[in-house]
Structure 1
Amino acid sequence: MSTQAGFAREEIGAKSSYFSKTRTIIETTFYGNNVVRVPSLRAAYELAKNSPGTIVTDMPVFHGDTFGLPTDAKVLLCNDGAVTGRTAVARRIAGEPGVDTVDLDKKLMEAVYESRFKKMYHAEVYIGLDPEFMVKAHLLIPEGFENTLYNWMLNFQYRSDEYVRMYKQSRPIDKEGDIYIFADPDWRHDEHPNGLAYFNTAQNCAAILGMRYFGEFKKGTLTIAWAIASRNGYVSCHGGQKRYNLPGGKKFVASVFGLSGSGKSTITHNRHNDKYDITILHDDAFIINSETGSSIALEPTYFDKTADYPLSCEASKYLLTVQNCGATQDEDGKIVLVTEDVRNGNGRAIKSKLWSPNRIDKIEEPVNAIFWIMKDPTLPPILKVKGGALASAMGATLATKRTSAENLLKGVDINALVYEPYANPFRTYPLKYDYIKFKKLVDERGIDCYIINTGDFMGKKVKPSDTLGIIEHIVENKAEFKPWGPFQCLEIMEWEGFEPDMTDKEYLQKLQDGMKRRRRFISMKYTEKEGYDQLPSEALEAIEEVIQPLCDLV
């Protein structure tokens, strides 16, 4: 699948589904005589290297020529200022109740007008790494933010000869135009002190204003690509996927879903001490074909935290760019990075595809299992969920905690337990569509669904070795699940040190309270935003079937 960039003249106008007021405001800006097209990744590198304030380290880009970079390319460092995480309160999505698009379009027109006095750079990338699904995206950003442009082109797929040919082979998606994103990090407005990320995903466009953090550009672009995928027969996934290539030609494809800091990337990339032959799809963004069960990666590189990566670790070899980290000189006087979040929280880096030598851009084999990664102290380290309604309802109430990846407003408790449906805070369409698609994977495709708690269970920390050991048992078909207590749709595998005491009324009360909070979260969706994200009634009924048996025990 590919998106459309040019239109027959009779297609252009108010009656066309390709166009809207917002899209027209944004796309028009790309054709101004103050716009400079950036033709290649090499050109973007030169712009970023020479951009004021860029730290050109003495750390070489490993095999940079394979990415279209100069053979002597260096790792570039650029820092953003005080905000080093995503700002959720800045998001406005056209179509959601309460979003005043008339007001936002006027503000956007003013932002566009102000940009005419600036040199603007236009870059293009592909999102989706297989001819089955590839969309083209365009970014327009002012001079002075060359590092953002370069990072954006690295994060997605720049237009190499190989991918240009691949894109031409891709079948056009009906009624889907290219993605257009207008950005101005210098924009300021009294009514939007935290910036503005304005999305019109129905017509594949967005404006990212007053924000510098690169994650806004990465996730903002993915937001639109995920919406396109959801409209066209795919399950949009903010997670990781890997394939275990087992003896006898057997395959086990696992998809894991969790927010930053949940263990998602660790689980995805872990090689289990080379116990298995592992193939990686991606650790952050992919889609699953609802009909075939096959999966496609959306990005070639990895946008990772640098908190756990000392300068001397092997991963540093594969860095392409770094954001929000420090720099110093080594014993030879060479400029090198200071990582491990010494400077600030949520330091980030883009790592090359070469970091994972067992990468693949499409997994043809259908998914075998989905794992909801939670941090809920009432849940044991592993549960198996029976039935698509409860499996999808538990995904819709995925419990987690906030991390430094987010720019939280003053007063927000970073340690509070929150629910983030399907670990995807970047959804721009009604929640029910994800619910239906994940339910279908379980009920119609027979995919197994598990809940993994990577936090603590009733005060005892679940270690990574516990989580990985549990997954190994499942992959090797050694996991013995049995009915859990009084529940019809939940099964448990006993794991030493984490046995729930089903005679402990205090524990049962906390477990019931946790499930009631899930019920309340789903119930609130019926009234929040005028019911925009309400789920089918069966989701509530599935949670209720877990709550009711507990009433007789507490």
Structure 2
Amino acid sequence: MASLASHDYYRDDMTKMPPLRSIAQTLCLDKRVRKVTAAEAYELAKRQHDVMDTDLPIYPAAAKRLGLPEGATVLNNCHGRIVGRTALARRFYTRMEAVERRKVESDLREAVYAMQRYPLIKAEAILGLDTDLMIKATIVGTEDDAVNIFNWLANFTPYEELTEAYAKSPKLPIPDILVVGFNQWTTTDPYYHNAGGSQLALVDEDANVIFNLGMRYFGERKKGTLTLAWTSGMRLGLAACHGGIKEIDFSGCADAKAQDMGKRSIAFFGLSGTGKSSHTNSHDNGGTLPAGFSKVVLHDDAFQIDCENKVCRVWEPTLFDKTDSRPTGHPDWRYMISTMNLGLTEVDGKVLPLGQDVRNPNGRALIDRDLLGAYVNRCSFPNLMVWLMKDTCLPPVVRFTDKHLAVAMGASLMTRRNLAENVSEEELKKLVFEPFANPFRVYELWKDVEAFVKVFEAGAVGYTFNSVGFWKTSDRELQKIPLQSSLTLQTALLLERLEWEDWDLLPGAQLPKADSVEKLLPGYAALYDPSRVENRDRYLETLKDRFHQRRVYLQNSDLHNRPDLLMRLVNALMVRA
């Protein structure tokens, strides 16, 4: 078996089992808690007051995998006021002082006491689809929250589906994951977050336990579980990746130069709206890949890099995607399993989910991975690592020859506030950082930094793609960077068609030589050469400020616990201007 049950993990000294795990496990083992399959959870979900049945068939292959009856249709669950994750509700048990821990433990016991007044159900799943990385997980919830349990089973893999593979997988020094959800929890205690209702996401990553109290949104269950999986992978020495990765095989191409490239993997890391899925899932990079190539996708959201064995492994068989760009009739609807917070519409007498965020923001769907075309459960080590950033001072593509600069740019991966936000002009200048585009990290940043240093030491080459637009005359008046141009550059990187020269403003970084990139994108140099920008003094001032903010951010992080590593990263971010 892969991960370990509580008794096996703590058997040498059961007193070392953390309180939160003991509370969760005791609930899981209550004989009144009924274990359900995906099919049973689906039938229970159909009776929920906040779940609507539609006439859209669940993707047949997914329905069969989940053991659903023939003709099963997509369920739409609307959550109310909250239609997204709530970071402010998170509390991290391992970071609490003793007095705070005692308070939270007692409050949690009271919450579970209240929860046990309801009929409860549980389900078991396997996280991970590669036999070398599988973790067992259990979720417990109230019977009237069956839709979240069904969605959780669909998002991961019901235990019954992988029982044989799991039994043969190697044992890991990792405890099983336990997830508890209780939507009816309420409190008047101001210690806990309240947004029209009490909310608590209580995490103990060491114990592999998470409690979602007062939180209906499925993303809390999914990302909470995935957070523990990523963290488990980190404990095994694997780099946790909130990103997409695909592998292109050029060996079947007629073009001899392309054929010589063999297989190449490329990974993308970016915050919402930066093009992560567009780059990962694009069928042929906008028609720029040479004839004869073949492509497989590992995933567009979550995977783990194993530097020692030079492979990447996936956690989930589904995608959890926004539906804002999918109108009625879009071909992606045939791959749907479940929807959340969507409107409904009637078409030719059939009730169908309505995307495009017509009802509310952040409409979501669980979608089968068949949408991606050919996919795999493990792929080769990434040859290329791409940070997708909205930094107007960066040209469309930058290459890093300094591994510490590559890591520093990932560790200070940034976005910006926008004019739609009610903030001052000074606030608009401030960058917003999300290291490695992973808002679900629950361990110290220095651990991620060390993991990604190993990735670059193992042979990956780092790049940034600017996905917002490049400085024309100011930070507001920009040269557009079309997605097609970025896809063309992606193909050029995969096939090593670009020649590079050092960027005089940023030691350790390179820009494509004009003559090599002009062959692919005529006019590139005139549009995106930093030495040709208008208001150059203002440009240089802004560039220096951006990198200064990056340095300050890292200096104020827990990287100060690794001063030598911090110094390398900070020094690598020095602009020469």
Q: TM-score, normalised by structure 2?
A: 0.88
Cα pair distance change 1:402/1:73, threshold 3 Å: farther
1:275-301 deviation line (CA, Å, top 9, x unaligned)? 342110001110010212200110000
Aligned-pair distance for 1:33?
Answer: 3.9
> What is aligned with 2:431?
417
Q: What is the Cα deviation at residue 11 of structure 1?
A: 1.5
Equivalent-residue separation in structure 2 for 1:81 and 1:418 (angstroms) = 28
3-state SS of 1:202 partner: coil
Superposition deviation, residue 391 in structure 1: 1.2
2:324 is aligned, of 299, 307, 312, to 307
* 1:122-201 to 2 correspondences below 5 Å: 122-161=122-161, 163-174=162-173, 176-190=174-188, 191=190, 192=192, 193-194=194-195, 195-201=199-205
**2:41 is aligned with 1:41:** no
Q: 1:430 aligns with which of 438, 441, 444?
A: 444
Partner of 1:57: 54
Q: Comparing 116-125 with 497-506, which one deviates more in the overlay?
A: 497-506
Residue equivalent to 2:539 = 507
Answer whether contact 2:44 2:143 (CA < 8 A) is retained: no
Match of 1:348 among 341, 364, 373: 364
SS in 2 for 1:427: coil
1:129-278 to structure 2, matched below 5 A, reads 129-161=129-161, 163-174=162-173, 176-190=174-188, 191=190, 192=192, 193-194=194-195, 195-247=199-251, 248=259, 250-271=262-283, 272-273=285-286, 275=289, 276-278=293-295
Give 1:345-424 correspondences, 5 Å limit. 345-363=361-379, 365-401=380-416, 417-424=431-438
Question: Counterpart of 2:530 in 1: which secondary structure?
Answer: coil
Deviation at 1:79, TM superposition (A): 0.4
Q: What 5-or-longer segments of structure 2 have no aligned partner?
A: 252-258, 472-477, 518-523
Moved more, 111-120 or 242-251: 242-251
Contact 1:296 1:362 in 2 (8 A): yes
CA contact under 8 A between 1:393 and 1:539: conserved in structure 2? no
Distance 1:322 1:90, change over 3 A: same
How far has the Cα of 1:212 moved from its partner? 1.1
Matching of residues 292-331 of structure 1 within 5 Å: 292-330=309-347
SS in 2 for 1:95: helix
Q: Shift in Å at residue 317 of structure 1?
A: 0.8
AA at the equivalent of 1:381: P
Q: Distance in 1 between matches of 2:382 and 2:559?
A: 30
More divergent stretch after superposition (193-202 vs 244-253): 244-253
Counterpart in 2 of 1:87? Answer: 86
Distance 2:182 2:560 in 1: 30
Q: Distance in 2 between matches of 1:196 and 1:338?
A: 30
SS in structure 2 of the partner of residue 351 of structure 1? strand
For each residue in 1:89-109, what CA deviation from the matched residue of structure 2 results, as whole angstroms up to 9, or x when unmatched? 111112226693222111111
Q: CA RMSD in A?
A: 2.4
Shift of the alpha carbon at 1:502?
6.3
Q: Give how far 1:388 is off.
A: 2.0
499-508 or 455-464: bigger deviation:
499-508
Please state how far the C-alpha of 1:409 moved relative to its aligned partner. 11
Give the residue type in structure 2 aligned to 1:355: L
Please give the alpha-carbon distance, in whole angstroms, between the structure 2 residues aligned to 1:410 and 1:477: 44
Contact 2:555-2:566 within 8 A present in 1 as well: no
State the Cα distance separating 1:461 from its structure 2 match. 2.7
User: Offset of 1:49 from its aligned partner?
Assistant: 2.0
Is the contact made by 2:408 and 2:573 (CA closer than 8 Å) also made in structure 1?
A: no
Asked if the contact 1:430–1:533 (Cα under 8 Å) also holds between the matched residues in 2, the reply is: no
CA deviations over 1:78-136 (Å, ceiling 9, x no partner)? 10011111111111112226693222111111110101100111011111111100001
In structure 2, the CA distance between the partners of 1:51 and 1:517, relative to structure 1 (3 Å rule), is: same
**Contact 2:506 2:575 survives alignment (8 Å):** no
Distance in 2 separating the partners of 1:533 and 1:310 = 48
**Aligned-partner Cα distance in 1 for 2:428–2:24:** 35
Contact 1:78 1:324 (8 Å CA) reproduced = yes
Q: Equivalent residue for 2:296?
A: 279
| Residue of structure 2 in register with 1:76 after alignment | 75
Q: Does the CA-based 8 Å contact 1:289-1:295 persist in structure 2?
A: yes
Aligned 8 A contact 2:413 2:433 in 1: yes
Taking every aligned residue pair, what percent have the same amino acid on both sides? 31
2:466 corresponds to which of 453, 478, 486: 453
Superposed CA deviations along residues 306-361 of structure 1, whole A, max 9, x for unmatched, are 0000111110111110001100211x221111110011111000001221221111
Shift of 1:488: 2.5
Counterpart-to-counterpart distance in 1, 2:422 and 2:29: 40
Q: TM-score, normalised by structure 1?
A: 0.91
Q: Which amino acid aligns with 1:379?
A: L
- The secondary structure found in structure 2 opposite 1:322 is strand
Q: Give the stretch that moved more between structures: 298-307 or 333-342.
A: 333-342
SS of alignment partner, residue 92 of structure 1: strand
Equivalent residues of 1:96, 1:532 under 8 A apart: no
- Distance change >3 Å, CA 224–CA 532, structure 1 → 2: farther
Q: For residues 219-276 of structure 1, what are the alpha-carbon distances to aligned partners after superposition, in whole Å with 9 as ceiling and x for unaligned?
A: 1001111111001021010000000111337011011111222211111100124634
Per-residue deviation, 1:8 = 5.8
2:551, 2:573 within 8 Å by CA — same for their partners in 1? no
CA contact (8 A) 2:56 2:352 kept: yes
> Matches of 1:168 and 1:533 in 2, distance apart?
42
Residues of 2 paired with 1:534 and 1:465: CA distance? Answer: 42
CA contact (8 A) 2:507 2:575 kept: no
* Displacement of 1:544: 3.3
Q: Is the 2:76–2:339 Cα contact (8 Å) retained in structure 1?
A: yes
Counterpart-to-counterpart distance in 2, 1:273 and 1:380: 20
Greater shift in the superposed pair: 307-316 or 415-424:
415-424
* Residues 280, 356 of structure 1: 8 Å contact kept: yes
Unmatched tracts of structure 1, length 5 or more: 526-530
Q: Which residue of 2 aligns with 1:547?
A: 574
- Equivalent-residue separation in structure 1 for 2:315 and 2:490 (angstroms): 25
Partners of 2:560 and 2:566 within 8 A in 1: no
Shift of 1:15: 4.2
Superposition pairs for residues 330-341 of structure 1, below 5 Å? Answer: 330=347, 332-341=348-357
1:523 has 2:539 as partner: no
